[in-house]
Chain A
Amino acid sequence: MTPEPENFDALQRLLKLKRCEQPPPGYFNDFSRQVMARINRDATEDRGRSFDRLFWEVPWLGRLLEAFQAKPALAVTFGAAVCALLIGGVIYSASMEYKPAALPTISADAEQATPAPIAPAAFGLSDPAEGTLAATGTNNSLNPIIQPGGSLFDQFRINPQPVSFPSRGNGD
């Protein structure tokens, strides 16, 4: 026993009357413009609120701004001072010359105190000449020289240089 299906045709025709209800003429011409204006206004208010929050969190900034508003001359003076500082800083930094710090030199005593050269075998080098380079002159472990502009690891790079040993004997 199923209930008799109801006929809503007349009601649906009547509901068509709702479709004929129209807003005032030209209403939709202005609608999107109003929405956009409110979006822009909300964005501006949000920015204003963030400024208010900033002034609340940094009260001296607010007082400074109030002072500037009350005395424009103060604002001009402050601005001029900031500009002068900026320009002075630029000029000063431009006039500065780069002077690299003097490298420490090793006295003769200190050179004598230099530990004996590490055996070449310790580096796994076959050529004895290669093993001495780390301890010769100022280019040793006590006087590291960092090349400006190079990698931090350049100082650990082994640069083989030819070394001449004084010849002995033969009466030459």
Chain B
Amino acid sequence: MSAVEELQPEHELLTINFGPHHPATHGVLRVMVTLEGEVVRDLKPIVGYLHTGIEKNCEDKSYWKVIPFVERMDYVSFFFQMQAFCGAVERLLDMEIPDRAKYLRVIHLELNRLHSHLVWLGTSALDVGAMSVLFYCFRERDKVLDLFEMSSGQRMHTRYFQVGGVIEDIPVGWARRVREFCAEMPTRIDQYEAILDRNEIFLNRTRNVGVVPRERLLELGVTGPLLRAAGEPWDLRKASPCLSYADFDFKVPIGTVGDGYDRYRVRLAEMRESVRIIEQAIEGLPDGPHILDDRKYVLPPRDELSTSMEALIHHFKLVTEGFRVPPGETYHSIEGPRGELGCFVVADGSAKPARVHFRDSSFVNLQALREMSVGGYVADMIQNLAMLDPILGGVDR
């Protein structure tokens, strides 16, 4: 769609308010839409209805206590926030985590990407009208959550990643469960595609809707599947791989037109690639420690607490005060399911971070909503919002 047109005074314009409580906005997003008939002339997203002050709260907690806080920002892709923060702190400490931890982190990250895309597909298809896809997607989502529960004890917000590695090694049988999951997942994705890919209603609603040229998206700072659907081959997993992404062979799906249909196809293809990465990672999972052995930063194993006085002292210091990070600041970014997720940490030498800021992909991507929707119909705006995949927890933090 073209750029915003000048609004003439003789147009009969109606400004209505969408949300913050609305069945179709993904969370508490409020949109003020100026309509001429059914055509959107102007659009203003108003956010902040979920602002939780997480960044400020983190300044009051020691580094490992920050991890559960930042998890809850973008609440569907919780592992990615953990990875962004732990990666930033590990960078500040110049830590190199063991290989097994890297692989385990990648497996959980890709499972989380699957989870995020499943939730997206379920709720977006619901917005467009395909209700049954919700039930199919949440069936798989529950299987992913079962895997998370098996490895860390909690379905969502697991605080599984810690500075130095992962908090616990995977239990016996988890690798087998993951393999079984990966074996059946491609058929499930085929099922979703069978419902939606060539569905006439879905095609009519998403084809050529919400097209923004690639250069404009880059100017707006949009990253992730939205940018890739428009044709820009930019993926941080390939461009600046962190953890062990460089060891795996996977493709990055790119779209051509950049409309809603391309975004849908790109995300479904990404789901397939995630399954491939998980398969490769679980096959090549190296042996070794799951977390660093450095007692200054990492809790000692619990069985040592009853025998070694030193371990007890380390444990005590780490739990009550936390480890200190030498002064410095860093920005660490990873490829989240919605785009570039960056974490900026300022350390001032004490046990608490002086500033934690998240560059959240949904927050920046939301600026593209206006460009996508102006000039189209209001029903297309709903669909654009669905394909944009904003998670308001990340937008508002």
Asked if A and B are interacting partners, one says no
**A residues touching B (Cβ–Cβ < 8 Å)?**
none
